[in-house]
C-alpha cells in the first residue's frame, strides 16, 4: 500500500513539475509610447497578453492615424501604414488596442516592442497545437468576460477579446463578436495577391480559424518574443 501511495504522489509531483515548466508566469514590457504589457508564456513561446496600442515605429516615426473612410482606403491603396481605434473611439483603444493595416506591421522600421515580433502563421499554429488543437484552443485563449455569448476560460492568461476589425473601405465591423489578429505571413500562391493570413476567434463557437485578409484591412496585433531576421 505504501509503495502504491508513493508512486501516486511521485506521479502528481512529476505532472506538477511538467506543468510548471510548460506554463510560466507573466512578465512585463513597454512599447515606444510607454504602454505596458503583461505577457503570457506557454511552452517555448512568450506572447503579449493584450493587443498592441503603439502609435510609433521603433525609430520614433509616427504611424499615421486614419480616421475617415477615405483616409483609411487611401492608405491601403497606396500601400502605406495606418492605424485607428475601432469607431475612432479612444475608449475602445484602452480595452482593445489599435487596429493596424498590414503595411504597418510589415514596415521595416518595426512595429513590435524591442525583442518581440508580429507572429507568423506558424507561431499561431504552434500555440494552438500546444493547447490541443483548433477545436478546443479558442475557449482557452478567450478572456473570461467581454464576449457577447461564449466567453472563455483564459487558461494561459492570453485574454483574447473581440476587438472587431476594419475592412479595406473603412467600415468597422463585429466588435464584441469577433477578434482578428494579423499573422506576418503571406500565403504561398501561384498568382500573387494582397491576402495575408489572420488568426480568428468568434463569439458563436470556441474554435480557432485561420483566414486570409486583404492587406488594406485593420486588425488587432499580438506580439511574440523573438529576434527579427530582417
In this predicted structure, the answer to whether residue 16 has a pLDDT above a threshold of 50 is no
Per residue in 44-83, pLDDT (tens digit) is: 999 999 999 999 999 999 999 999 999 999 999 999 999 9
Per the structure block, which three cell numbers stand in for 182? 494579423
Instruction: Report which DSSP code applies to 191.
Output: S
- CA distances to 5, 25, 56, 226 from 34, rounded to whole Å, are 52, 22, 11, 20
Q: 12: pLDDT confidence band, cut at 50, 70 and 90?
A: very low
Neighbours of 178 (CB within 10 A): 18
pLDDT of residue 25 exceeding 80: no
Q: How far apart are CA 148 and CA 162, in angstroms?
A: 9
What does the pLDDT look like over 99-121, one tens digit per residue? 999 999 999 999 999 999 999 99
- Asked if 114 and 142 touch (Cβ cutoff 8 Å), the reply is no
Q: How many CB atoms lie within 10 A of CB 121?
A: 17
119-153, pLDDT tens digit by residue? Answer: 999 999 999 999 999 999 999 999 999 999 999 99
pLDDT for 27: 78
| Alpha-carbon torsion (170, 175, 179, 181), positive or negative | positive
Name the range with the highest mean pLDDT among 75-89, 179-193, 214-228.
75-89
pLDDT digits (tens, 9 = 90+) for 161-190: 999 999 999 999 999 999 999 999 888 776
pLDDT confidence of residue 186: 85
Q: What is the pLDDT of residue 211?
A: 95
pLDDT above 90 covers a percentage of the chain that reads 81
Amino acid at each position: 500500500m505504501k509503495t502504491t501511495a508513493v508512486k501516486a504522489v511521485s506521479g502528481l509531483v512529476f505532472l506538477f513539475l511538467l506543468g510548471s515548466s510548460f506554463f510560466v508566469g507573466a512578465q512585463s514590457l513597454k512599447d515606444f509610447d510607454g504602454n505596458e504589457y503583461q505577457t503570457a508564456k506557454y511552452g517555448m513561446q512568450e506572447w503579449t497578453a493584450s493587443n498592441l496600442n503603439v502609435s510609433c515605429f521603433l525609430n520614433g516615426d509616427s504611424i499615421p492615424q486614419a480616421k475617415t473612410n477615405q483616409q483609411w482606403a487611401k492608405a491601403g491603396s497606396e500601400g502605406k501604414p495606418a492605424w485607428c481605434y475601432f469607431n475612432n473611439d479612444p475608449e475602445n483603444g484602452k480595452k482593445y488596442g489599435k487596429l493596424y493595416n498590414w503595411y504597418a506591421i510589415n514596415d521595416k522600421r518595426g512595429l513590435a516592442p524591442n525583442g518581440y515580433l508580429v507572429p507568423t502563421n506558424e507561431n499561431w499554429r504552434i500555440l494552438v497545437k500546444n493547447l490541443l488543437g483548433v477545436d478546443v484552443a479558442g475557449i482557452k485563449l478567450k478572456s473570461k468576460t467581454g464576449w457577447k455569448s461564449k466567453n472563455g476560460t483564459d487558461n494561459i492568461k492570453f485574454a483574447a477579446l473581440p476587438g472587431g476589425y476594419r475592412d479595406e473601405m473603412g467600415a468597422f465591423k463585429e466588435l464584441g463578436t469577433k477578434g482578428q489578429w494579423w499573422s506576418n505571413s503571406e500565403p504561398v500562391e501561384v498568382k500573387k495577391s494582397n491576402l495575408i493570413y489572420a488568426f480568428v476567434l468568434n463569439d458563436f463557437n470556441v474554435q480557432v480559424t485561420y483566414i486570409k485578409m486583404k492587406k488594406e484591412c485593420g486588425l488587432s496585433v499580438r506580439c511574440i518574443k523573438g529576434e527579427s531576421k530582417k
